[in-house]
Amino acid sequence: MRRLAGQPGSLDELLRVEGCAKRAIAAVVAERPVKPARAGGLALARLRWAGEAERAKKAAENAREASATHTTEPPDGRAA
């Protein structure tokens, strides 16, 4: 390495230094590979599950309201 300052060196050393420099420059300026997009299957399933849970909650609430308004007495006022 000290011989690069204008002093003669062997061709083997010169080629080795050039190769090392090319690899270093390529590593610095190289574009990073693009990460693959995440699969959206799990996200879609979670959205679907949330919707199903919301519908089930509403159905349970409606069932509770229906059972609260339901009486065992007939509408004509007779006792069962």
Identify which of 39, 11, 44 has the alpha carbon closest to the alpha carbon of residue 52: 44
What does pTM read for this prediction? 0.38
The predicted-structure confidence for 45-77, as pLDDT tens digits, reads as follows 999 999 999 999 999 998 888 777 666 666 676
Domain boundaries, the chain: 41-69
The predicted-structure confidence for 7-60, as pLDDT tens digits, reads as follows 777 888 878 888 888 888 888 877 777 777 777 888 889 999 999 999 999 999
Phi, psi of 34 (to 5 degrees): -75, 130
